[in-house]
Amino acid sequence: MKLVIAEKPSVAMALAKVVGARERKDGYVEGKEYLVSWCIGHLVAFCDASEYDERYKKWRYEDLPIIPEEWKRKVLDGTKKQFQILKKLMNSKEVDEVICATDAGREGELIFRFVYEQAGCKKPVKRLWISSMEERAIKEGFASLKDGSCYEDLYQSALCRAKADWMVGINASRLFSVLYNQNLKVGRVQTPTLAMIVDRNQKVREFVKERYYVAHLTFGEFDAVSEHFQKKEEADKVASDCKERMCQVEKEDVQTKTMRAPKLYDLTSLQRDANRIFGYTAQQTLDAVQEMYEKKLVTYPRTDSQYLTDEMGESTEKLIQMLLSGMPFAEGIVYEPEVSKVLDSKKVSDHHAIIPTSEVEKADLQKLKEKERNILYLISARVLTATADPYIYETHKCQLTCNFHTFYFNARKTKQEGFQAIEKKLKQFLGVREPEQEAEFDLYLGRNIGPCSTSVSENFTQPPRQYTEDTLLAAMERAGNEELTEDTEKKGLGTPATRAGIIEKLIQSGFVKREKKNLVPTDAGNVLVTVLPDEIKSPKMTAEWEMALNHIAQGTETAEHFLNGITDMLGELISRYHSISEEESSRFPGTAMGEVIGKCPVCGSDVREGKKNYYCTGQECRFSLWKDDRFLASQGKKMDKATAKKFLKKGKVHYKDLVSKRTGKSYEATVEMVADGEGKAQFNLYFPQR
């Protein structure tokens, strides 16, 4: 028998259907020569520092740095049952081969390897690597399994990431918590991201706006402006001198410009557009596109590539024809697609760009959730725009004179609409307002215009804008360095798969808050960044670490060299920050974080009380129990501290007085909490046997 291990139950069921395993068992599916089972996210994780030595239960400066000589792992409390099922299956005499079918990426590899090693399994391993959940793609994947050893470098990269996050998180958090007598959560990627938000907010707050005035000449849609004046009287005089007079084009600089079609979506660019157009958070977009991946409607979402492989040309042409005939926004679009623009195998690493699958043709789009449907429209339209002609236009920068005063006017003239015609179709269909563009206006040297009306407007210089999730994701991708080009090797903060979780963790931890679309730091976030050294909060340094992890995955850098660098940095940091003044240590008034109420069922880290929830303090874990939980509220109950503690300790709470708000009837039942692979808490009802 062959044992297939997926990352989630839903994926396991899709795989089981293809390989013919249909008999449901406890924690797995069986059929023909296959057993198909699943993890529930992370089943195994590194032990906490206190599990290495009792003295580490107290946070003391003299115990730092804590660097394990041998790394210990543990099975997480909330997933012990499923781990035992996997362990039994792995070591069963019936199983002669294990197929790793977790998500085809760094974290998926880590999830499987930790379970495989913790179970003491020695069976040969094959790797299923697919970019789509379509039946055809799954069959092709099973027909071309690779030996598990081919992914050893990927595993070493994932292992290094986990060790680095553990070492930085444990040591830096304890160091600065002890110094400032606060429970401060410091993370390898989380903290530099916070630093960028704090820095931008500081620039906005320090900006001093300046007033200026501009005189306008208007004639129909034509609107030319003067230079800036500090005094209104000066602008008024120019307007008065030119009122009802003719003006003439004195200079005209005409340039023809070409705007290339956008590339296909990777996860980050999709999250940015979904935030800008619909206001979706990065996490909402990831959740929606992951759901569609599991429904076989789109390809693998956690990708950083914006290209397809060279051999996908024919299938892409068929996909385009399907989208043109099947997508409601595409009605009336006629163009000659240039598929070769999106094909480049050299720019595809683990997975190609996100595109729809052929299953979309059979799907009832109206049955999709609104977010899923909107994002599917974005992904589909991007396939069309990416293969369309460029947008070609002329820019006209004109200088005009009127009664010896100079005015300026910018206009553009479209020569070829290209891909923008498709973008306009999509935005009209979605009801999205187009941003204002320069006027389409025919001007030429020596032309007389008028007689013109005049006016004066009061204006102010504009501060830099606060980060939105759109602009923050872009900054994270480039580690805050706006000078990097798209073709530069990416040295970003985190990966496309983790950036949404990092943003959510900063909000859950109370360091960042949302103000409409903007992300701004809280007082606690501002103070934390102020007191931390550059080694911990530098986006560029963290991006260098991320690039090193990519090099380990490619086999061009060693894990030992990377971890030695982290260890040396922590040692130097701890020796430098051996003490601070009493005044410095009191910089966190009123910003202490909530008390620990239990352990996370997903990763085993502390769960603390926040303003709106009880959240996991784990580096990348997103588990939380919300105080206004909708399910409990629908049964007449609240997620108070006592209830949250019970769920964390026992995984369930028995109620004798639940009241359905729908029917008004009271009843007795046990509410069981289950944390899924994404860290979300879900609740099931069990009624007592009569």
Contact partners, residue 522, CB within 8 Å, separation at least 6:
510, 511, 512, 513, 591
3-class SS of residue 277 = helix
Nearest to residue 101, comparing CAs of 112, 110, 90?
112
Per-residue tokens: 592 = 């202490």
> In DSSP terms, which residues pair with 41 in a beta bridge?
none
CA distances 610 to 394, 521, 592, 596, 625, Å, are 54, 16, 11, 10, 10
Q: How many CA atoms lie within 13 A of 79 on its CB side?
A: 27
Place of tokens 């009123």: 590
> In DSSP terms, which residues pair with 402 in a beta bridge?
405
- Measure the CA–CA gap between 316 and 387, rounded to whole angstroms: 10
- Measure the CA–CA gap between 177 and 187, rounded to whole angstroms: 13
For the chain, counts of helices (H) and of strands (E):
21, 27
Place of tokens 């007085």: 657
If residue 466 lies in a helix (H) or strand (E), which one and from where to where?
Answer: none
- Measure the CA–CA gap between 14 and 10, rounded to whole angstroms: 7
- Measure the CA–CA gap between 364 and 357, rounded to whole angstroms: 14
Of 300, 391, 393, 467, catalytic: 300
605, 616 in Cβ contact below 8 A?
Answer: yes
- Measure the CA–CA gap between 450 and 192, rounded to whole angstroms: 56
If residue 562 lies in a helix (H) or strand (E), which one and from where to where?
Answer: helix 559-576
Give residue 501's region: left, alpha or beta (phi > 0; psi -120 to 50).
alpha
40, 85 in Cβ contact below 8 A?
Answer: no
Place of tokens 């042409």: 317
If residue 506 lies in a helix (H) or strand (E), which one and from where to where?
Answer: helix 499-508
3-class SS of residue 632 = helix
Which phi and psi angles does 85 have, rounded to 5°? -65, -45
* SS3 annotation, 326-357: HCHHHCCCCCCCCHHHHECHHHCCCCCCECEC
For residue 688, is the peptide bond before it cis, meaning its omega torsion is within 30 degrees of 0?
no
**Is 393 among the residues known to form the active site?**
no
| Cα–chain center distance at 2 | 35
As annotated, the active-site residues are: 300
